[in-house]
Amino acid sequence: MRRIGLLVWACGLSACGGKDTGEPDDGDALGGPSTGVTDGGTFEVEYETEPSPIPLSEDFVIRTRVTDSRGVWIDEASVVIDADMPTHDHGMNTIPTTTPVGDGWYETTGLLFHMPGPWQITIDITADGVYETAVMPYECCF
């Protein structure tokens, strides 16, 4: 049974163009930037993960702080976080949920990276009638 599971996992990697060695190529780095600005420049975001770095095929949590361009916390925003692998044309197999926790921080649960490789964490923010998105690359889980 174990061999079948490994075979299915290996076939899944090759079908999505994943690396077959499980080892990073020279120049690959785990993680990615943890701060950024939304596409319209209205919001600044920073995030941290638990655990860090993000493990392969294990649940993790993202805590995101949202501020305006002056650095003032935004406590009454809608924050939606998702992630995908654009080079493989698929996202996560889970549906994350975000809740505000105060001082401009939002906590997102229900996240899981099921494959190693390049992911994009997408943070959609709506506040005061403004909707913008920050996209953060994340190299996962070797």
Q: Write the CATH number for 88.
A: 2.60.40.1930
Domain limits for position 62: 34-140
Average pLDDT over residues 77-83: 96
pLDDT of residue 32: 77
Q: Is residue 1 part of a domain?
A: no
Task: Fill in the DSSP letter of residue 113.
Answer: B
Is residue 40 domain-resident? Answer: yes
Domain-located, residue 26: no
Structural domain count of the chain: 1
In a domain, 16, yes or no: no
Q: Whose structure tokens read 């770095």?
A: 53
In a domain, 107, yes or no: yes
CA distance 15 to 33: 28
- pLDDT, tens digit, 9 for 90 and up, residues 17-55: 333 334 434 334 468 779 999 999 999 999 999 999 999
Q: Does a structural domain hold residue 23?
A: no
The answer to the question of residue 14 being in a domain is no
Q: What is the pLDDT of residue 107?
A: 97
- End-to-end, the C-alpha distance of the chain in Å comes to 24
pLDDT at 100 over 60: yes
Q: Is 22 part of a structural domain of the chain?
A: no
Q: What is the pLDDT of residue 92?
A: 96
Average pLDDT of span 96-113: 96
Compute the distance between CA of residue 31 and CA of residue 13 in angstroms, rounded to an integer. 20
